[in-house]
Amino acid sequence: MALIITDENYSELLKGDKPVVLDFWAEWCGPCRVLGPIIDELAKEYEDRVAIGKVDVDDNDNIVTKYGIRNIPTVLFFKGGEIVDKQVGAANKDVFIEKINNLL
C-alpha cells in the first residue's frame, strides 16, 4: 500500500535515500480512482527500493501549490529531492514501471 503523504510529512520523505514517487489525486476524480490500485501495486513491488505515496489534493494545499499541481492525477518522480520526471493523467502500469526503473 502506498504511503499517505501530507503537507506535514513530505519534506522528510524527500530527504531520504530512496527515490520518491508521489501520486497527486482526489476521491472525486475518476481517473485517479483507476490509477490508485496501480500505485498501490507498485508501492508493494518496489517497497524496498522506492518510496511511493499518495497526496490528497483536497487536504494538502501547501505541497499542491509548491509543485504547481493543476491537473490530477499527476505523478511526480523525485531523485535526490528533485523532480526528474512527471506523468500527468492516468496511464498503464508499464509506463510507471519504466519511469520508476529509470530512477534506480
The catalytic residue positions are 29, 32
Strand partners, 23: 54, 75
50-87 burial string, b = 16+ CB within 10 Å, else e? Answer: bbbbbbbbeebeebbeebebeebbbbbbbeeeeeeeeb
